[in-house]
Structure 1
Amino acid sequence: MHVAHYLGLQHRAEANLADAFRQVAAAHAAEADVFHLTGKLAAQCDQHVERLAPFIETYSAEAPDEPERLHADLFAGARSGGLGLLRDLHDLYLMASYADITWTVLGQAAAGLRDGDLAAVVAACEQETSIQLAWLRTRMKSAAPQALVVA
């Protein structure tokens, strides 16, 4: 059974996303909405990590060795300035998209396993990730004209 691999992927994706949200908050503290919302979204990701922990413990005993190159690193650090903010939001969007599709895969696994508890956690966290994606998309739309047109 390979569900433990995807639980591990999700655990690491959420932890990395939380860290990236914090880095972007620190780098763009002058943008009040970015500072406060990325801090809030980082806390959501931390909660996702906590909610996954019991399932990782439950399914890890049945996991074969982890394949090489299972994890992906998508964030290399925050940038400065208007274009930097846009690029940072873009990176966060890609990371959140990665988390989102991994939630979808885990939801399918939970259905196949008939694990109602895992399905409930996936549904709740997937909804929050969708909201994160919507905010990131909206904030990028807001930042793009200034960053790309006005130099």
Structure 2
Amino acid sequence: MKLSVYLGLLHTSESTLARSYREVAEGHGTEPDVFFLCRSLADQCDKHVKALTPVVDRYGEAGDESEPERLHADGLSGTRSGAVGLLRDLQDLYLLASLVDITWAVVKQAGQGLRDAELLDVVRHCESETKTQLAWLTTRMKQAAPQALIVAK
């Protein structure tokens, strides 16, 4: 069974997303909504990792050495400045959150195949929150785009 590979990917991706949310919060602290929401979403990702613990205890978690080479994403190592920088950083968060979202979907399929109610409960809760994160990121990018792309110098 290879579920452990995707549980490892999910753990790594959620942790990477949490760190990246914190990076954007600090880098764009002058935007109050970005600062507070990104910190809150980072905490949410940390809770997702914690919720995975009983599932990982049961099925295991394959680390980087067991994952296919391209089955991961690097987080943000810094933030950009200005309006366009904020837009690009939000877009990077969106890409990472999309990876997390599709990974939850794949793990959900495995949970359905295994008929594992505990795994499915974790997926339902975390997948729902991840979709909300994606919705906020989309809305915030739409809000930032006109200022960044038309008005900003």
Contact kept in structure 1, 2:104 and 2:127, CA below 8 Å: yes
What SS does the corresponding residue of 1:29 show, helix, strand or coil?
Answer: coil
CA 1:75–1:47: 2 relative to 1, 3 Å: same
Q: What is the match of residue 96 of structure 2? A: 95
- Unaligned 5+ runs, structure 2: none
Residue 31 of structure 1 corresponds to: 31
Task: Give the distance between the partners of 1:109 and 1:3, measured in 2 at CA.
Answer: 7
State how 1:1-151 maps to structure 2 within 5 Å: 1-60=1-60, 66-69=66-69, 70-150=71-151, 151=153
The answer as to whether partners of 1:110 and 1:116 remain within 8 angstroms in 2 is yes
The amino acid that maps onto 1:130 is: K
CA contact (8 A) 2:5 2:62 kept: no
The size of the alignment, in residue pairs, is 150
Residue deviations 1:57-115 (CA, integer Å, cap 9, x gap): 2112899x714413222534211111110000000000001100000000000001111
Cα distance in 2 for residues equivalent to 1:62 and 1:102: 14
TM (norm. structure 1) is 0.94
TM-score, with structure 2 as normaliser: 0.92
Q: Tell me the alpha carbon deviations over residues 19-47 of structure 1, each in whole angstroms, 9 at most, x when there is no partner.
A: 00000000000000000000110000000
Distance 1:16 1:94 in 2: 12
Displaced runs of 4 or more, over 6 A: none
CA distance in 1, matches of 2:129, 2:117: 19
Cα RMSD for the two superposed structures: 1.7
Looking at structure 1, the residues matched to 134 and 35 of structure 2 have their Cα atoms a distance apart, in angstroms, of 16
Tell me the secondary structure at the aligned position of residue 149 of structure 1.
Answer: helix
Sequence identity, in percent?
55
Structure 1: gaps spanning 5 or more residues: none
Cα gap change, 1:134 to 1:62, in 2 (>3 Å): closer
